[in-house]
Amino acid sequence: MFNLKNQVAIVTGGARGIGAGIAKVFIDAGANVILWDVLDSGQQTADDLGDKATFRKVDVTNSDSVEEAVNEAIEDHGKIDILINNAGIIRDKSFSKMTFEEWNAVINVNLNSLFIVTKLVLPHMKAAKYGRIISASSVNGSAGAFGQTNYAATKAGVQGFTRSLCKEVGKYGITANCVAPGFIASDMTASMPQDVIDQGIKQIPVGRIGTPEDMGYAYLFLASKEASFINGITLHANGGSYAI
Give the largest CA-CA distance in the chain: 51
Tell me which residue of 168, 159, 160, 130 sits closest to 9, measured CA to CA: 130
Q: In 3-state terms, what secondary structure has residue 58?
A: coil
How far is the CA of 117 from the CAs of 3, 11, 69, 136, 236, in angstroms?
A: 25, 11, 10, 13, 23
Options 130, 151, 172, 242, the catalytic residue: 151
- Whether 48 and 23 have beta carbons less than 8 Å apart is answered as no
124 CB contacts (<8 Å, ≥6 apart)? 70, 74, 79, 80
The yes-or-no answer on residue 151 being catalytic is yes
Q: Which of the residues are catalytic?
A: 151
